[in-house]
Amino acid sequence: MNAKGGTNSFDGHPQVTNTNIAELNQGIDAWVENDFSGACPVRDLLDRIGDKWSVLIILRLGQQDERFRALLRAIEGISQRMLTVTLRGLERDGLVHREVFDTRPPSVVYSLTPLGVSLLGHISSLTDWALENATTVELAKSRYDANT
């Protein structure tokens, strides 16, 4: 059934209405009271990891420490400049450690810091969710596209 404005009043997801939203939103009350504006650690973190490159780099470094060129080869589609910029941002935020070895030419190895490792668990959970639900999401997209 369609409500005014064309939105579905029943979308086949009754579990959403049964979830205690207040329980899910614990810890963000101050930010909500401030109309989602101002300094917010959630927004700051999403600015850093909200792009695909940061997530892919963290996932890769979660498997093993890597040299720059190895990362560049491993992450399909990333440019040298974007890898440099992203690694610097992750290093600045304390998620990635950069170690320079005194060789000729100098070699650099990147690894996750303890803070980065603690984030890796959450990103891995999100990755697992995405993999488990990819088919369901694609079906939902197809149904939506067929109805618009």
Q: Give the span between the Cα atoms of 45 and 31, in whole angstroms.
A: 14
- Residue-wise pLDDT for 96-122, tens only, equals 999 999 999 889 999 999 999 999 999
Q: What are phi and psi of 111, to 5 degrees?
A: -145, 165
User: Which residues are paired to 108 by β-bridges?
Assistant: 100
Q: Which sequence spans correspond to the domains of the chain?
A: 39-147
Which residue type sits at 50? G
pLDDT per residue as tens digits for the range 3-35: 444 444 445 544 544 456 666 566 666 666 666
Q: Going by CATH, does the domain composed of 39-147 fall within 3.50.50.60?
A: no
| pLDDT for position 91 | 96
* Tokens (6 digits) for 143: 């149904």
Q: What is the pLDDT of residues 51-78, one digit of tens each?
A: 889 999 999 999 999 999 999 999 999 9
Residue holding tokens 């040299």?
A: 67
Higher pLDDT, 133 or 10: 133
User: 75 and 60 in contact (C-beta within 8 Å)?
Assistant: yes
Q: Is the pLDDT of residue 46 over 90?
A: no
Is residue 2 scored above 50 in pLDDT? no
Inter-residue contact 94 to 115 (CB < 8 Å): yes
Contact of 48 with 93, CB cutoff 8 Å: yes
